[in-house]
Structure 1
Amino acid sequence: VTLKLLAGEGLAVPRQADADDEAGWHALLAEVGTVVVKPVEGEQGKGISVDLRSAEDVRAAIERARQFCDRVLVEQFCKGEDLRIVVIDHQVVAAAVRRPPEVVGDGRSTVRELIERQSRRRAAATGGESRIPLDAEAARCIAAQGHDLDSVLLPDCRLQVRNTANLHTGGTIHDVTAELH
């Protein structure tokens, strides 16, 4: 719905293809180079895969997304920040940037241990609502940066461990209200 409303106002929106239209999403991938796969319905970032560059990765992501909804979209990936703006009575009242989760190396712990440690802290702080899933999407994100779950990061080395910024999957939120123009 949001995409149609924005397009109707003349704003640029990502191109989409239905996952059931294999020729359509192949053509989209070939043209734009990087796509997102997401269930049509859902919440909390479940079933979303970002920054997919091969047909093999897209197929696998479609299967993961179908675990959450039968209807799945393949959409042009548009790199940028995840900015959320709250408007009440035509006035901006808050703005926040969401960022994907990352871990910081200590020179001893594996990436898996760093993720598990951070997930325990986040789960304790949110009543179990926020954990970083150790799933295929996390493994793919980590591998794209030349690491795996058994890698030991150098001290203070930051590693993004998911491509999505959803709070329920370990993303963080940063208030930027004062920075809006």
Structure 2
Amino acid sequence: MFLNQMQNLQNRLIAARAQELGITCELLVPDCEDFLRLTQNGQTIIINKTRSHRLPLLAGLLAKDKQASNLLLEQRGLPVPPYAVVSDAGLDLRCIEAALAFVERLPLERRSVVVKPMDASRSDGVTIDVRTKEQLVQAMQHAAAYSRQIMLQQFVQGLDYRVLVINGKVEAVTCYRPVELIGDGHSTITELIAEINTRRIAQTKIGTIDRFAAIDTEKSSVNNVLKRQGYTVDDIPVAGQLVSLYDTEQMEAGAISEFYSDCTDHICRQNIELSIAAAETLGIDVAGIDIRCQDITRPLTLEQGGILEVNALPDMIHHVYPYEGQSRDVVGAYLNYLFTAQKEPVLAGTYTQRSVDYDVTGNSK
């Protein structure tokens, strides 16, 4: 079957839902999954996974440029954590001094940064919650392996959220939180971790998926976090005791195993509007808005959180198959949008003035 031949899970999701909606789906180029051809009622369109045929080229380029996209979001008045770019990441003394100067300008109580390469995709080369000079130099060396330009951005305490916006509407919100254990009074930490790991694999209509990354007790970071709490992997936590496995300090992004939980019904109206405005500002019709904050039910502010990134190729897997919470038919919404007539394409870097403007407090004005 065509679906079983696909390697990319996004494409599998799209092909499976398309079949249910009576939409013909095929590879544009045989044995190449870069482009799908969708046909319904005589109308044919070409897409690239979750990139639609309406995505302007400039919008896609802006989404990849962290500095340019942050600048546009700031100019719109949206809450973006303070950042700086080190233009020549040769890691000479001048480069390091420039990075330290940025860190020292941050409020003392929030003097922690994320260090990320400007040109890398996903979480490659990214280190979060960098607090000391030694950690900063190490993180910059790590980022420099991926890019000669490095961005430093204030680290936001809280949880990560992904807000999916399709055609100016929030379709789903997922919260990512580090995996943690709850003691049962008779199982060791090793046994509790093994039990959790058995739940991470899910059988779905598109095949086997990992609902979260496997927890590796061989990693020193996990053992160090346990040690700080007074545990070893052989200890038995009391029933109901919460045990953390991860600490954000000087952690490589992507090294933390996270639970994916649907929280679409909990995002407040102001944060819905901010997310829609972020996608609109960059001209991205199908966007994943990355937000980090203390509480998604409260309006986003620079004290309470900020917009970290706007993605033009959003992953829909965890909206459809969350570890916890309700599944959202985001692929159906995406396909319906693709075959809906549009008035005019949104131009990247421009936006229609809405009934409210935003300031960096996240409040309407």
Normalising by structure 2, what TM-score? 0.39
CA distance in 1, matches of 2:169, 2:140: 39
1:85 corresponds to 2:163? yes
Aligned to 1:178, the other structure's residue is in SS state: coil
Structure 1 partner of 2:75: 8
CA distance in 2, matches of 1:114, 1:65: 36
CA distance in 1, matches of 2:113, 2:245: 19
* Structure 1 residues 88 and 127, CA gap change in structure 2 (3 angstroms): closer
Tell me which of 116, 121, 138 is aligned to 2:198: 121
Assess if the C-alpha contact under 8 Å between 2:96 and 2:137 holds in 1: no
Aligned to 2:228, the other structure's residue is in SS state: coil
Rg larger in structure: 2
1:161 corresponds to 2:246? yes
Q: Deviation of residue 103 (structure 1)?
A: 3.4
Tell me which of 128, 144, 161 is aligned to 1:50: 128
Aligned to 1:179, the other structure's residue is in SS state: coil
- CA deviations on 1:9-34 (whole Å, 9 max, x unpaired) are 12232222345321121012222211
Aligned to 1:87, the other structure's residue is in SS state: strand
- CA deviations on 1:26-46 (whole Å, 9 max, x unpaired) are 012222211111232121x34
Structure 1: which 5+ runs fail to align? none
CA distance in 1, matches of 2:201, 2:262: 22
CA distance in 1, matches of 2:166, 2:114: 30
Q: Deviation of residue 6 (structure 1)?
A: 0.9
- CA deviations on 1:137-177 (whole Å, 9 max, x unpaired) are x459828x82488464733232041538x778421221111
CA distance in 2, matches of 1:60, 1:140: 21
Assess if the C-alpha contact under 8 Å between 2:212 and 2:260 holds in 1: no
Structure 2 partner of 1:175: 262
1:146 corresponds to 2:224? no
CA distance in 1, matches of 2:117, 2:236: 33
Assess if the C-alpha contact under 8 Å between 2:212 and 2:259 holds in 1: no
Aligned to 1:47, the other structure's residue is in SS state: coil
Q: Deviation of residue 8 (structure 1)?
A: 2.2
Aligned to 2:163, the other structure's residue is in SS state: strand
Q: Deviation of residue 99 (structure 1)?
A: 1.4
Structure 1 partner of 2:213: 130
Structure 2: which 5+ runs fail to align? 1-64, 90-94, 203-208, 270-365
Assess if the C-alpha contact under 8 Å between 1:101 and 1:162 holds in 2: no
Code of the aligned partner of 1:31: R
Structure 2 partner of 1:101: 179
CA distance in 1, matches of 2:143, 2:242: 31
Assess if the C-alpha contact under 8 Å between 1:119 and 1:130 holds in 2: no
Code of the aligned partner of 2:244: L
Identity of aligned residues (%): 23
CA RMSD of aligned residues (A): 3.6
Q: Deviation of residue 119 (structure 1)?
A: 7.5
